């Protein structure tokens, strides 16, 4: 009777099967068989009834049993008791630790260099720190672990080996630049959350979005126009253009992690970064360390670099670079979406659907204007860039536009803060331990002893000054450590002193494009996640060669025309 009720309720036709009488009353239409195999999947589209439904109808069936529902080929339901062969074995958990080959390569680099005797003139502790620093750089390139973890291990090695004290190893966490970069990610969160980023992005698309190249150039020259007014490349990149570029990428369907990075995001992020170092080199007030170079020039050759002097010398090679670099990247690292003639129309429709600005958008916009205003007039008001950013974030937190929980969830911000601060600390102590001054003096003696013309000697000095930036995580640190020595030698070898000072000043910005840590805008754009590290470094080196050709070639002709040599 129970069998009839069950089969009637299920509206299924069961074939009677002969079976030994079970221990508990079981419908005749069910056959227990420990050796049988499942004939049909319970997810068969021909029968919507699943195993859970059958268990609900018959609680007497053990939970360890499985059965088959109605099949077109066989009208019986076979219930199979669990057996060792049928039990699904748990899959082994994948290894979640470090990638072994990159880890071994990183450690081997440090150990080998550690065991090599230090050159004459280099202290043992400076050599130890160099070995740990290079091992960390190899780890950051090969990424056996996330960047922050690699950098933290590097700092731990410094402390463990007594190369640095704990306070020295973690001293750069009090540096304003890593915090300014982290704060930029929190601002980007507010931009995207409120919809203000999308609104601005749609405005850009409606004006310039018929082609990806036109969209890129609109951002490049917008950033260049703001550069002389905002003396922090980190603030420009992180506080203004990273949120905007991310919103543009999302609006165009280019996201991180879903295979659409190359639609627009990869090219646009790399282009905006590489051109940010160019705009920083074009104006005395476009990068925080530029006045330091001007001050060292005055102390070394007793000549002053004024704002107009700097801009006049940089304007022609700078504009050429701003035009050439985006186009070159467009050709060698192109976005997959190059032309979208309907995009401006669609963007206008999106703007109409968005309607007027919401309260949170207005707060976000007002906070942005406040922060940018403090960045522009901070020198007059005695408010530095990171203080202005903290004030802006405080407004967003108090008004609820951004919550602290959302800030904590910005893992990229905290990861970037960790690895960038670690590199700044290690690079800073390489200078304090005398390694950089030893390197500078060695280069100076080598180049000076070659007996070349001043043009050739200066070319060698330029290349060594430029590519030694792989060892620096700050333009200011590089200028402070090497600018005076290289300018002095260049002048002694016959290079016109004022020309030498300007060229080294320009290159002190351009060299930031070779790595993802060399200038304040690098961690900001790299941290967005659109460009793999290997491509970041590879294209960084290629663009550095292009920039050197433009600035020393086109620039050299321009400087000759205006009488610098």
Give the residue among 326, 285, 277 at the shortest CA–CA distance from 551. 277
Residues 326, 251: Cα–Cα separation, whole Å: 21
Q: Indicate the angle between helix axes 124-142 and 100-115, nearest 10 degrees.
A: 160
Give the length of the chain. 565
Tens of pLDDT, residues 249-308 = 887 788 888 889 999 899 999 999 999 999 999 988 788 788 878 888 888 888 888 888
Q: 3-state DSSP call for residue 342?
A: coil
Residues 183, 243: Cα–Cα separation, whole Å: 12
In Å, what is the CA distance from 350 to each residue of 202, 255, 316, 347, 358?
Answer: 7, 19, 39, 5, 15
Model pTM above 0.85: no
pLDDT for the residue 28: 41
Token pair recorded at residue 17: 């099967």
How many other CB atoms sit within 10 Å of the CB of residue 195?
Answer: 17
Residues 265, 273: Cα–Cα separation, whole Å: 12
Residue 486: pLDDT band by 50, 70, 90 thresholds? Answer: confident
Tens of pLDDT, residues 205-246 = 788 778 889 888 988 888 888 788 666 787 777 777 888 888
Please tell me the least confidently modeled range out of 465-469, 482-486, 530-534. Answer: 482-486
pLDDT for the residue 65: 39
Tens of pLDDT, residues 378-424 = 778 888 878 888 999 999 999 999 999 999 998 878 988 888 788 88
Alpha helices (runs of H) in 170-284, residue ranges in sequence order = 176-194, 196-208, 212-226, 233-234, 242-251, 265-282
**149 burial level (CB within 10 Å; 0-12, 13-18, 19+):** middle
Average pLDDT, the chain: 80
| % residues pLDDT > 90 (the chain) | 32
pLDDT for the residue 447: 82
Residues 248, 242: Cα–Cα separation, whole Å: 10
- Residue 125 in this model has a pLDDT that exceeds 90: yes
pLDDT for the residue 421: 86
Residues 327, 319: Cα–Cα separation, whole Å: 13
Tens of pLDDT, residues 53-102 = 444 434 333 443 333 334 444 444 444 444 555 556 777 788 888 889 98
Place of tokens 């005695």: 382
Residue 6: pLDDT band by 50, 70, 90 thresholds? Answer: very low
pLDDT for the residue 250: 83
Alpha helices (runs of H) in 355-453, residue ranges in sequence order = 359-381, 385-399, 404-408, 411-432, 435-448
> 246 CB contacts (<8 Å, ≥6 apart)?
188, 191, 192, 197, 528
Residue 425: pLDDT band by 50, 70, 90 thresholds? Answer: confident
Please tell me the least confidently modeled range out of 108-117, 190-199, 296-305, 526-535. Answer: 190-199
Give the residue among 154, 150, 49, 139 at the shortest CA–CA distance from 102. 139
Residue 81's DSSP bridge partners are: 65
CB 459 within 8 A of CB 210: no
Residue with more model confidence, 247 or 26: 247
CB 234 within 8 A of CB 385: yes
pLDDT for the residue 434: 86
**27 burial level (CB within 10 Å; 0-12, 13-18, 19+):** buried
- Residue 37 in this model has a pLDDT that exceeds 80: no
Q: 3-state DSSP call for residue 467?
A: helix
Q: What is the mean pLDDT of residues 175-181?
A: 80
| Phi then psi dihedrals of residue 238, to 5 deg | -85, -40
The H or E element containing residue 78 is strand 77-81
Residue 35: pLDDT band by 50, 70, 90 thresholds? Answer: very low
Give the residue among 169, 178, 181 at the shortest CA–CA distance from 430. 169
> 7 CB contacts (<8 Å, ≥6 apart)?
13, 14, 27, 29
pLDDT for the residue 22: 47
Dihedral angle of Cα 231, 232, 235, 238, to the nearest 10 degrees: 130
Residues 557, 565: Cα–Cα separation, whole Å: 10
Positive or negative CA dihedral for 385, 388, 394, 397? negative
Residues 40, 70: Cα–Cα separation, whole Å: 8
Residue 185: pLDDT band by 50, 70, 90 thresholds? Answer: confident
Residues 121, 30: Cα–Cα separation, whole Å: 89
Token pair recorded at residue 546: 């292009």
- Residue 488 in this model has a pLDDT that exceeds 70: yes
């Amino acid at each position: 009777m129970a069998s009839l009720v069950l089969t009637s309720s299920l509206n299924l036709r069961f074939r009677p099967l002969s079976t030994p009488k079970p221990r508990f009353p079981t419908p005749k239409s069910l056959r227990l068989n420990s050796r049988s195999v499942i004939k049909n999947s319970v997810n068969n589209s021909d029968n919507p009834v699943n195993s859970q439904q059958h268990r609900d109808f018959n609680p007497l069936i053990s939970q360890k049993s499985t059965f088959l529902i109605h099949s077109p080929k066989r009208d019986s339901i076979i219930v199979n008791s669990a057996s060792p062969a049928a039990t699904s074995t748990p899959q082994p958990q994948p290894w979640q630790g470090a990638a072994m080959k990159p880890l071994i390569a990183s450690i081997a680099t440090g150990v080998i260099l550690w065991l090599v005797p230090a050159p004459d003139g280099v202290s043992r502790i400076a050599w130890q720190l160099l070995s740990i620093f290079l091992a960390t750089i190899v780890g950051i390139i090969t990424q056996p672990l996330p960047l922050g973890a690699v950098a933290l291990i590097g700092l731990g090695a410094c402390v463990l080996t007594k190369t640095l004290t704990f306070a020295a190893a973690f001293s750069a966490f009090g540096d304003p630049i890593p915090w300014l970069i982290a704060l930029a990610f929190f601002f980007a969160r507010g931009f995207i959350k409120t919809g203000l980023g999308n609104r601005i992005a749609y405005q850009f698309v409606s004006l310039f979005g018929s082609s990806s190249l036109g969209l890129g150039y609109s951002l490049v020259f917008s950033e260049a126009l703001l550069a002389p007014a905002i003396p922090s490349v980190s603030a420009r990149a992180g506080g203004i253009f990273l949120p905007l570029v991310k919103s543009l990428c999302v609006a165009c369907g280019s996201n991180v992690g879903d295979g659409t990075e190359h639609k627009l995001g990869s090219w646009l992020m790399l282009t905006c970064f590489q051109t940010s170092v160019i705009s920083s080199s074009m104006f005395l007030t476009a990068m925080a360390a530029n006045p330091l170079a001007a001050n060292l020039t005055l102390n070394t050759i007793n000549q002053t670099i004024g704002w107009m002097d700097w801009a006049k010398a940089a304007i022609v090679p700078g504009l050429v670079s701003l035009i050439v670099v985006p186009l070159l990247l467009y050709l060698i690292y192109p976005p997959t979406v190059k032309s979208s003639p309907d995009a401006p129309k669609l963007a206008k429709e999106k703007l109409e659907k968005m309607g007027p600005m919401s309260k949170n958008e207005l707060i976000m916009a007002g906070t942005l204007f406040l922060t940018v205003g403090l960045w522009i007039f901070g020198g007059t008001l005695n408010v530095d860039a990171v203080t202005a950013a903290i004030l802006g974030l405080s407004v967003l937190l108090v008004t609820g536009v951004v919550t602290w929980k959302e800030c904590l969830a910005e893992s990229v911000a905290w990861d970037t803060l960790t690895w960038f601060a670690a590199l700044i600390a290690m690079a800073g102590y390489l200078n304090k331990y005398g390694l950089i001054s030893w390197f500078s003096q060695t280069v100076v003696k080598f180049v000076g002893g070659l007996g070349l013309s001043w043009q050739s000697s200066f070319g060698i000095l330029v290349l060594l000054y430029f590519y030694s930036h792989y060892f620096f995580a700050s333009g200011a640190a590089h200028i402070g450590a090497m600018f005076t020595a290289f300018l002095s030698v260049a002048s002694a070898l016959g290079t016109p002193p004022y020309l030498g000072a300007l060229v080294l000043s320009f290159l002190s910005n351009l060299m930031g494009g070779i790595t993802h840590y060399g200038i304040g805008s690098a961690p900001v754009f790299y941290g967005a996640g659109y460009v793999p590290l290997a491509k970041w470094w590879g294209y960084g080196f290629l663009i550095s060669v292009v920039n050197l050709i433009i600035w020393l070639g086109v620039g050299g002709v321009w400087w000759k025309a205006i009488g610098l040599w």
